[in-house]
Structure 1
Amino acid sequence: MKAVILAGGLGTRIAEESDHRPKPMVEVGGRPLLWHIMKTYAHHGVNDFVICLGYKGYAVKEFFFNYHHHTADLEIDLKQGTHRVLNSQAEDWRVTLIDTGAETLTGGRLKRVAPYLGDETFCLTYGDGLADIDISSEIEFHRRHGKLATVAAVQPPGRFGVLNIDANHSVSSFEEKPSDEIGWINGGFFVLEPRVIDYITGDATSWEREPLQNLARDGQLAAFEHHGFWQPCDTLRDKRQLEQLWESGQARWRVWHG
């Protein structure tokens, strides 16, 4: 099975980082968000990736083009200009990097990579969200219900705590805003059938609008409810929070070993 990862957006809300690289290349624990997402999929046996490039796509290409050597011990003959790889820790992944255009919207990016997907069920997600989602269970859920599309439904944590104020204007208690006040939202991590491509008109189509709306209208969209960890990296605050979790050994999305 293949996993398509959308990695071409501008990332304007984290401009301090994305001015220099695409948002999926923002690092947590010394590795790009994109790598973390791919490790999650690989943990569930999905090792074939199609990455949709756009803004500063060359940075993603350079990362993967040099990845084998950067994860290896090398013996280099400076005079001869030759080298030998002594061993490499690179993962057993196949990575297809496709330039889907700087201005193309999410649906358009998916449509552009359709020729590389074949006729089988595939996964799709965004290149800036980390989760400990059980992808294997989601794929099984998708196959059971028989619809064209499955989306991981998540309940994001509230960003603001709630003050409970009594009649005397005193704060009687403080509590974190419960996630169930927000409701379920699109958390990415889709499982899709190739026919969903027919719901996409072209480059100007946002996957989150007409395609998903029409799939829902046609009774072809199911929700896989994820109750575990889920966190997008939209702002510097998000990045710092993810860094703290990684450094403290509490990165719940790290479902892989090693």
Structure 2
Amino acid sequence: MKVVILCGGLGTRLREETEYRPKPMVPVGGRPILWHIMKHYASFGHKEFILCLGYKGEVIKDFFRNYHWNTSDVTIKLGANAEPVYHNAHDEEDWTVTMVDTGEKTMTGGRLGRVLPFIEEEEFLLTYGDGVTDVSIAKVVDYHRAKGADVTLTAVRPGGRFGELGLDEGMVTSFMEKPEDSPAYINGGFFVMKKAAIKGLIPGDDCILERGPLETLSKTGRLAAYTHDGFWQCMDNVNEMAMLNTLWNSGKAPWKSW
């Protein structure tokens, strides 16, 4: 299955780090958080990625264009036409990464709509470019198919400030972006989607995935939720970035599935 990752937002709440790079490129343990997300998917056999670029997308393009250079020790002679010698092998040789400029001001649903032509299969995976988890992607896919849903999201339990999901026997009955009370389960991303179902719900670039398509699917009983009580953490601010780096540097990062 192809994996679509939303990488185009401005990351305004992490402005200290995102003034010169997009949020998915903010490092955790010396590698972009985007790399950690991709490594998790790849550990479940999903190695075809479609990155929805927007704000400072050229930084992401440069990273993957120069992947060996960015991730290896290297020796280079300073003569004319000298070829660098890379001293590190890596496990990403079989990845395919398609990077699509989906516009700097395009909303999340609009970004997805722009990359649907790159997806030939009936089903695909989608997530945000700023959160990590230890959820089993295989179990989310199996659950999605068992439920016969059009879209399945991963429902997680974080602290406050996120929108709450109403759940009934594994199906989403309400999709509230910012309720006043503390949430129970919230949308943690890590979706499985049917292309035909989601395509008809995206009218254009102004479509916000969470307010239009997902709300519509929840009202019609077509949006499922795989509840995950394990680790999940987004990176919205400096404190969350520091916490993820501390976990990684301790050697006990819960999301490290590879």
Per the shorter chain, which TM-score range?
Answer: 0.7 to 0.9
The SS at the match of 2:241 is: helix
Counterpart code for 1:112: R
Stretches of structure 2 that go unaligned for 5 or more consecutive residues are: 162-181
Residues 91-137 of structure 1, C-alpha deviations (whole Å, 9 max, x = no match): 02100000000000000000000110113210000000111111011
Taking the aligned partners of 1:84 and 1:204, their CA distance within structure 2 comes to 45
Taking the aligned partners of 1:111 and 1:48, their CA distance within structure 2 comes to 18
In structure 2, the residue matched to 1:132 is 134
Q: Specify whether residues 148 and 85 from structure 1 end up closer, same or farther in structure 2 by C-alpha distance, changes over 3 A only.
A: farther
In structure 2, the residue matched to 1:190 is 191
The SS at the match of 2:257 is: coil
Aligned residues of 1:72 and 1:85 also touching (Cα < 8 A): no
Q: TM-score if structure 1 supplies the norm length?
A: 0.87
In structure 1, the residue matched to 2:6 is 6
Stretches of structure 1 that go unaligned for 5 or more consecutive residues are: 160-180
Q: Identity over aligned residues, as a percent?
A: 51
Mapped pair 1:53 → 2:53: yes
Residues 150-174 of structure 1, C-alpha deviations (whole Å, 9 max, x = no match): 0000011459xxxxxxxxxxxxxxx
Q: Specify whether residues 86 and 234 from structure 1 end up closer, same or farther in structure 2 by C-alpha distance, changes over 3 A only.
A: closer
In structure 2, the residue matched to 1:42 is 42
In structure 2, the residue matched to 1:120 is 122
In structure 2, the residue matched to 1:221 is 223
Aligned residues of 2:75 and 2:86 also touching (Cα < 8 A): yes
User: What's the RMSD between the two structures over aligned residues?
Assistant: 1.7
Larger Rg: 1
Aligned residues of 1:72 and 1:90 also touching (Cα < 8 A): no
Q: TM-score if structure 2 supplies the norm length?
A: 0.87
Displacement of 1:217 after TM fit? 1.6
Mapped pair 1:200 → 2:202: yes
In structure 1, the residue matched to 2:17 is 17
Aligned residues of 1:22 and 1:57 also touching (Cα < 8 A): yes
Taking the aligned partners of 1:75 and 1:247, their CA distance within structure 2 comes to 27
Taking the aligned partners of 1:3 and 1:89, their CA distance within structure 2 comes to 20
Counterpart code for 1:191: V
Residues 206-257 of structure 1, C-alpha deviations (whole Å, 9 max, x = no match): 000010011112211100001100001000010011111111122101111x
Aligned residues of 1:24 and 1:33 also touching (Cα < 8 A): yes
In structure 2, the residue matched to 1:240 is 242
Residues 58-85 of structure 1, C-alpha deviations (whole Å, 9 max, x = no match): 0000000000333345553432313155
Q: Specify whether residues 121 and 85 from structure 1 end up closer, same or farther in structure 2 by C-alpha distance, changes over 3 A only.
A: farther
Taking the aligned partners of 2:72 and 2:232, their CA distance within structure 1 comes to 32
Aligned residues of 2:8 and 2:52 also touching (Cα < 8 A): yes
Q: Specify whether residues 4 and 57 from structure 1 end up closer, same or farther in structure 2 by C-alpha distance, changes over 3 A only.
A: same
Counterpart code for 1:42: A
